[in-house]
Amino acid sequence: MKNLKWWQKTAVYQIYPKSFLDTTGSGTGDLRGITDKLDYLQKLGIGAVWLTPIYPSPQIDNGYDISDYTAIDKNFGTMKDFENLVAEGKRRNIRVVMDLVFNHSSDKHAWFIESKSSKNNPKADWYIWRDAKADGSPPTNWRGIFGGSVWQWCEERGQYYLHTFAVEQPDLNWENPKVRQALFDAANFWLEKGVGGFRIDAITYIKKPAEFLDGEPDGKDGMVSVHTMTANTDGILDFLHEFKREVFDGHDIFTVGEANGVDAEDLQKWVGSDGVFDMLFEFSHVNLSLKGGEIWCRPTKWKLTELKQAIANSQAATKNNGWYPIFFENHDKPRSINYFLPKGADSVKAAKALGTILLTMRGTPFIFEGQELGMSNVAWNSIDAYDDIQSHGQYELALNEGFSKEQALEFVHFFSRDNARTPMQWSADANAGFTAGKSWLPVNENYKTCNAEVEDVDENSVLNYFRKLNNLRQNNETLLNGDYEELLKDDEKIFAFVRSAENKKIYVLVNFTLDEVKFSPEFLSRAKFIFGSFENNVAGTLRPLEAVVYEEMK
């Protein structure tokens, strides 16, 4: 069995700093809040925290619009606070992982302000500028990820600029070597601060096609998704290999790219010995209800067998090459228990069911803040209550497609990124103990029962389940490094797999339904029950949402 690196043997915890813990009463979370909770994370068995962006930003897209790549936003604290977090983390063996947002900057970044000032300034080609079509309309009919055209007219310069995401997030021109160098310098700045790795944002969009052409419209607005036209363009890997050479090589860190649009078949070029990253977030398993693209008003139905297939494909693709980042939640997705399990599912059982897969599969588990408590979606009664810029874009899109306001809001309820961004639920105190001020986003109403303080002392809580199972994983060679093989492939009710090493096999079975189901695999007679979401297991039966772990010694 090969030796694993530190980041293959631990679990990573994703923090959305704005919603984690506010120590000043400002209503938004801060770095000191994270430092305060390192003991909590240590007890959960976390070896690294990935922070979504904490750089200076106008916060149009909650920090993914960066106006300075080598500083800390004052709302989150100071560089000293950051250094202190890294140092305190090190003392507990928890490394800090930064989010690199290099596809675009904020329109308030000094680079963009200079770039837009004329057609011949020194940074004139640091962003992607094009003339209007003869009739003055935008250069192409591409729709941005957040809705509307990707092109924004700039009066000052008399040209359009391209933004894959919000108007305030102009895309950087990676064709320009000076741009690449400036970005690599920024990443190296954080390496010198002692960070433990990087999550690289929206990386599939950095390479644009040589020619900018209109695409076949995919919606009533006459536009086509920019994703279809630019994601994963040939030549992108050359940029990324340079990135690796200039930044990642020779450091004891991990890298995980956010790569929507890279499927399991392509994974080999992206990760592992010939690839560029250690891991890649690909989205096939969390986008099953958006098979037609990022259009919330066209949700697609999916079956458990499809979820299993998507995961099995990624496991197979990373079996001998690269490593899999296991995740069911992040700051861009709704809460997993609402997304993957039937309506009406008990949230504690549901969170344990998914948590069992998360913590026993092959790869590095990524726990998103609050997932370890069983936090769930919200459903606010007006679009105005939502902060998430994508929710607003998708709401408009649904109205344009002919849906009523009520229907458009239902799509937002289901998909909104704010579902994951409500404040962390620390206690049953006001604002769930998140802030002494006015919270920037309302707390989920269920905070009185679903919170860290209550769950800490409840042996049967989701939190203690995650702690115990993560501990089991980290001390178990088979769970860390054993092979993965899917079981009961065609079963629409049970998610099942086996992890095997030389002397041991570990079987995991999870009932995804609200029915009691029977199972009779041949291993039952040889294996013993070692862990589960109910206290015991009645051999051959899975109660609604029950998850079990069986072990067989060879």
Instruction: Decide if residue 201 touches ligand GLC (CB under 6 A).
Output: yes
Give 245's DSSP letter: I
Q: Looking only at residues 269 through 308 of this chain, which bind ligand GLC when binding is defined by CB under 6 A? A: none
Question: How many residues sit in the footprint of ligand GLC (CB under 6 A)?
Answer: 9
Which CB atom, from 278 or from 332, has the smaller least distance to ligand GLC?
Answer: 332
Which CB atom, from 64 or from 112, has the smaller least distance to ligand GLC?
Answer: 64
Q: Looking only at residues 93 through 152 of this chain, which bind ligand GLC when binding is defined by CB under 6 A? A: 101
Is 372 one of the catalytic residues?
no
Instruction: Decide if residue 60 touches ligand GLC (CB under 6 A).
Output: no
Contact 488/519 with Cβ under 8 angstroms? yes
CA 299 to chain centre: 20
- Name the CA dihedral angle for 71, 77, 79, 81, rounded to a multiple of 10 degrees: -150
- Name the CA dihedral angle for 390, 391, 394, 396, rounded to a multiple of 10 degrees: -110
Which CB atom, from 30 or from 332, has the smaller least distance to ligand GLC?
Answer: 332
6 Cβ partners below 8 Å, 6+ apart?
47, 252
Nearest residue to ligand GLC, scored by beta-carbon proximity: 64
Which CB atom, from 58 or from 521, has the smaller least distance to ligand GLC?
Answer: 58
Is 258 one of the catalytic residues?
yes
Residue appearing with tokens 């392509």: 266
Instruction: Decide if residue 61 touches ligand GLC (CB under 6 A).
Output: yes
**Which among 88, 23, 13 has a CA at the least distance from the CA of 47?**
13
Residues 548, 77: Cα–Cα separation, whole Å:
43
Residue appearing with tokens 């009523």: 404
What separation in angstroms does the CA of 3 have from each of 7, 8, 10, 79, 105?
12, 10, 14, 36, 39
Which residue in 22, 61, 65, 258 is the catalytic one?
258
Site string for ligand GLC, 236-265 (x = CB under 6 A): ----------------------x-------
CA 424 to chain centre: 16
Instruction: Decide if residue 64 touches ligand GLC (CB under 6 A).
Output: yes
User: Least distance from C-beta 421 to ligand GLC, angstroms?
Assistant: 10
Among 107, 332, 455, 546, the residue binding ligand GLC under the rule CB under 6 A is 332
Burial class (CB in 10 A: 0-12, 13-18, 19+), 453: middle
Residues 138, 128: Cα–Cα separation, whole Å:
13
Contact 63/73 with Cβ under 8 angstroms? yes
Which residue in 65, 73, 99, 201 is the catalytic one?
201
Instruction: Decide if residue 168 touches ligand GLC (CB under 6 A).
Output: no
Which CB atom, from 128 or from 202, has the smaller least distance to ligand GLC?
Answer: 202
Q: Give strand pairing partners of 364.
A: 325
Which CB atom, from 64 or from 248, has the smaller least distance to ligand GLC?
Answer: 64
Which CB atom, from 64 or from 386, has the smaller least distance to ligand GLC?
Answer: 64
Active site amino acids: 201, 258
Q: Which positions lie near ligand GLC, rule CB under 6 A?
A: 61, 64, 101, 165, 201-202, 258, 331-332
